[in-house]
Chain A
């Protein structure tokens, strides 16, 4: 008996140590980026053009580029994703088509990000002739983000109780009226949370934008959706591997700018989720 209890204590200690090994580096990474990045993060750094082959100046065009790309991704992925989720949860039956769509979504979610980059290069940049542009990059990122938004929206829709729909139908409302006025309003917070998380992932991606939009060095703001643009993730790649003698301060500053952008989106999503949990009464 004493032996089994000692075994349990040892086992739980090992589990705790393993968990610490997983968690501690996360904290260290965040602290390191904050500690080294914060001194670099002056308004001038955020709002100035890069100079001297990116060894001086700021990162404004990269911030703006990432902002446009995220916006473009949202514009394509959100409508498509929500409609697809409405189909799967509210309209589709349990049949082979639904199953095939589900398998397609699972696979879209698993396709490596660099393969999305190749696909974007093949379809949007070359075949459709958009060239390396914000349009091509946003479309590539939005297809990559689609499965995240569909899955999250579907989950949100499925948490709305069946009885809500039945009451609406019994009052004579049509299916779309029910979805529009009963299901969607109750699912909005969940949809928002999932969508924002999907977009934050898109904002931090590098591989899909490498050949579809990212400009190595472009010290001006993009003028149209057919323009190339700099982007924060690619800028980090360039600063840390492609340009020699970039000061550590600029590198960490750029890293922190991206991390803050991504975390801000994540925190927004968490806040919406937490508020919703409190308000939910069923």
Chain B
């Protein structure tokens, strides 16, 4: 009796463990199942590099280059803002701030992580967009820049907490050795601690990019949604994720439009897969 219970439990937990693998495969299979049907209508090259996204014109054109560039532009902007701020904030929290302030700052960052993206999108519409409109004298504040700023904030909790972990796990004797040699705390931070934590910093940047490129609702709401080739960061753009969210509701099931949105999903899935493997690689290198 006891033996059979043990046996059943053992198989049950094994199956639950394997379920994660099954889910990843299922996600990929279902994206492929719907997405690959597109390539009867158009070829991979004109899908990836086509300059026109007119999914419901006659004949439709499924070029996602404007969407890819839109995603890249917004992501690049967000990373340029978030990485220096994230590194600085993590260093401050881990190395400089007094204990009482450290706890307040960490709670604040946790709070930011807890705010749903739809709420940040709404706040972006009512505060950030009008602000940018006035500052840059634009016809509308809903631009790639607004998206970048908002996404930078959404990526910051991830970036800060991973870099902070990396800094805290730098062995204590590195720090003590440096200080004993007469280095100041600041010299120790940027000559010893940051280089020692560099793998963690790279992992944080990778995961930040993953978070930003996959973010959907906030970008859908504040980037202005124009599926055209972007020429400036002060112009409305449309990202890959926002396109799926905005158009799937109206896409007729089984149409080229429907398949093309799944094909965009394949691109996003592959991209996030690579980013996460890279981040995992950097995190494990740190431990080794």
Q: Cβ of A171 < 8 Å from any Cβ of B?
A: no
| A28 shortest CB reach to chain B, Å | 8
What 1/0 mask marks residues of chain B from 219 to 261 whose CB sits below 8 Å from any chain A CB?
0010000000000000000000100110011000100000001
Tell me the interface secondary structure of chain B in the complex. Answer: helix
Q: Which of B17, B105, B108, B117 has the most CB of A within 10 A?
A: B17
Task: Decide: B6 and A176 in contact? CB cutoff 8 A.
Answer: yes
Task: Decide: A121 and B248 in contact? CB cutoff 8 A.
Answer: yes
Q: Which residues 157-198 of B sit at the A interface, judged by CB distance below 8 A?
A: 160, 184-187, 189-190
Interface residues on A, range: 35 or more
Q: Which residues on B sit within 8 Å (CB–CB) of A105?
A: 20
Q: Cβ of A101 < 8 Å from any Cβ of B?
A: yes
Task: Decide: B245 and A8 in contact? CB cutoff 8 A.
Answer: no
Give the nearest-CB partner of B21 in chain A. Answer: A104
Task: Decide: B31 and A118 in contact? CB cutoff 8 A.
Answer: yes
What 1/0 mask marks residues of chain A from 236 to 257 whose CB sits below 8 Å from any chain B CB?
1100110000001001000100
Q: Which residues on A sit within 8 Å (CB–CB) of B89?
A: 15, 18-19, 22-23
Could you say which of B47-55, B132-140, B269-277 contacts chain A? B269-277
Could you say which of B38-46, B56-64, B72-80, B90-98 contacts chain A? B90-98
Task: Decide: B23 and A117 in contact? CB cutoff 8 A.
Answer: no
How long is the Cα–Cα vector from A113 to B215 in the complex, in angstroms? 7
Q: Cβ of A45 < 8 Å from any Cβ of B?
A: no
What 1/0 mask marks residues of chain B from 87 to 116 whose CB sits below 8 Å from any chain A CB?
011011100110000000100111110111
Q: Which of B16, B93, B186, B279 has the most CB of A within 10 A?
A: B16
Q: Which residues on B sit within 8 Å (CB–CB) of A11?
A: 186, 189-190
Task: Decide: A114 and B214 in contact? CB cutoff 8 A.
Answer: yes
Task: Decide: A255 and B30 in contact? CB cutoff 8 A.
Answer: no
Give the residue of A14, A103, A106, A210 whose beta carbon is less than 8 angstroms from that of B245.
Answer: A210
Q: Cβ of B217 < 8 Å from any Cβ of A?
A: yes
Task: Decide: A26 and B111 in contact? CB cutoff 8 A.
Answer: yes
Q: Which residues on B sit within 8 Å (CB–CB) of A110?
A: 207, 210, 214, 272-273, 275-276
Q: Which residues 1-57 of B sit at the A interface, judged by CB distance below 8 A?
A: 2, 5-6, 9-10, 12-14, 16-21, 23-24, 26-27, 30-31, 33-34
* A7-B186, A118-B265 known, 7 other contacts, Cβ within 8 Å: A11-B189, A15-B92, A80-B19, A104-B24, A106-B276, A127-B30, A176-B6
The chain B residues found within 8 Å of chain A, CB to CB, are: 2, 5-6, 9-10, 12-14, 16-21, 23-24, 26-27, 30-31, 33-34, 84-86, 88-89, 91-93, 96-97, 105, 108-112, 114-123, 125-127, 153, 156, 160, 184-187, 189-190, 207, 210, 213-217, 221, 241, 244-245, 248-249, 253, 261-262, 265, 268-269, 272-273, 275-277, 279-280
A-B contact pairs, 21 of them (CB 8 A): A8-B184, A15-B92, A19-B97, A22-B85, A22-B89, A22-B112, A26-B115, A80-B19, A84-B20, A104-B23, A105-B20, A108-B20, A109-B276, A110-B214, A111-B27, A112-B214, A115-B268, A115-B269, A205-B116, A211-B248, A248-B126
